[in-house]
Structure 1
């Protein structure tokens, strides 16, 4: 593996994937939510730059082409596991998350089965949009988790502390608690809508890859 900048960015993104879960091991919430969000967003940005710089500087490599989708899938899978675990297993999240996880595993299996012919399942433009939609949706859901945790903690504390929050430079009708309540619910619903869109794109691209691999699957069946 050549340690040029594009490959290094891809490798950093691969390491950042488990780092999202580690944030919840070493930091208390909601700081863990914010740190996970920042780490996930930073890693997602490198997804654009590693490919762009590799093409710009003509540093594309087989290792980079292999690690790039692995890093993307690891980021998405681990982040979804963390979010579903801390969200109280919301069925409106579990269903699209299941679609995404199933597709990623299934397509990886297809590529392994095709072996030398796996280039037939090269990443399409729609698949790139799918990955972008997944990362945007997950980022929004991390932000919603942080806001929701702030609301829950505020409600659990005594009234004097809530009054202190209300007087923190904001008027009584628009305090930290009401902002977290409104913001958390709104951002969470927005994140759910985005993850359903991402799941739809994920299913469509998975079906497209299945159709491309179907002739070789038929040969095996015969």
Structure 2
């Protein structure tokens, strides 16, 4: 176990603290719950940058860390988006079209991951710049939605719509990027090509001729020969 892995596990433990506190604030409006949710969210965001820096600086990258780090980010984002999708007098409600785009894209990527892993054995994942922008914008939407309910930070919730729109556009663009990449990996798998037996069967079918057609052609040729004589 490396230090970045411990930090990622700590971030995973912060997710339920963030969710429970935010749900309690959405229901009761308790200021303590709001500050707890804000603290858990900010610590998770800052520690995300810290574990990445340590992994790169001290060469402590690992396969477990490559799994835990994005998992912690995704759980924090998804939980925040889900809570903000509910109607509450204490929290702004995110638009349905953004929630649908984010969850639809994630569901597509999850299904694609299982399909490609099943047939290819291993999926080649190359994070795109647009994907990173989408993640940052989604994180910004959650942060703006949570922090913008109080006057201490001076954030206006009216701007939240435009951040949601930008996050939705970037999220939809990543779908258009990853779909062709996934199809390219599937096409390279030998199992995606026709099997040998099926190819032979198709070849035989191409050369099969109806016997009645042969008999009809032979009879027509004989009649033409008789008329000529």
Query: Which TM-score applies when normalising by structure 2?
Result: 0.69
Give the Cα separation in 1 of the matches to 2:113 and 2:167: 21
Q: CA deviation at 1:6?
A: 0.9
**Paired residue for 1:84?**
85
Check the 8 A contact 1:73/1:104 in 2, yes or no. Answer: no
**Paired residue for 1:96?**
98
Q: CA deviation at 1:64?
A: 0.5
> Do the aligned partners of residues 220 and 41 (structure 1) sit closer, same or farther apart at CA in structure 2, a change above 3 Å counting?
farther
SS in 1 for 2:73: helix
Q: Are residue 132 (structure 1) and residue 119 (structure 2) matched? A: no
Check the 8 A contact 2:84/2:93 in 1, yes or no. Answer: no
Give the Cα separation in 1 of the matches to 2:23 and 2:136: 27
Give the Cα separation in 1 of the matches to 2:131 and 2:39: 24
Match of 1:7 among 5, 8, 21: 5
> Do the aligned partners of residues 71 and 188 (structure 1) sit closer, same or farther apart at CA in structure 2, a change above 3 Å counting?
same
Give the Cα separation in 1 of the matches to 2:166 and 2:135: 11
Check the 8 A contact 2:92/2:157 in 1, yes or no. Answer: no
Give the Cα separation in 1 of the matches to 2:160 and 2:192: 41
> Do the aligned partners of residues 84 and 65 (structure 1) sit closer, same or farther apart at CA in structure 2, a change above 3 Å counting?
same
Superposed CA RMSD: 2.7
Give the Cα separation in 2 of the matches to 1:103 and 1:41: 26
Gaps spanning 5+ residues in structure 2: where? 195-229
Q: Which moved more, 1:186-195 or 1:71-80?
A: 186-195
Gaps spanning 5+ residues in structure 1: where? 148-178
Match of 2:123 among 104, 118, 122: 118
SS in 2 for 1:117: coil
The correspondence of residues 39-78 of structure 1 with structure 2, limited to 5 A, is: 39-78=40-79
Larger CA Rg, structure 1 vs 2: 2
Give the Cα separation in 1 of the matches to 2:193 and 2:99: 31
> Do the aligned partners of residues 221 and 202 (structure 1) sit closer, same or farther apart at CA in structure 2, a change above 3 Å counting?
farther
The correspondence of residues 12-23 of structure 1 with structure 2, limited to 5 A, is: 12-23=10-21
Count of equivalent residues: 183
**Paired residue for 2:161?**
192
Provide, for residues 146-186 of structure 1, a one-character-per-residue CA deviation record: whole Å limited to 9, x for no partner. Answer: 33xxxxxxxxxxxxxxxxxxxxxxxxxxxxxxx69xx6xx7
Query: Which TM-score applies when normalising by structure 1?
Result: 0.71
SS in 1 for 2:51: helix
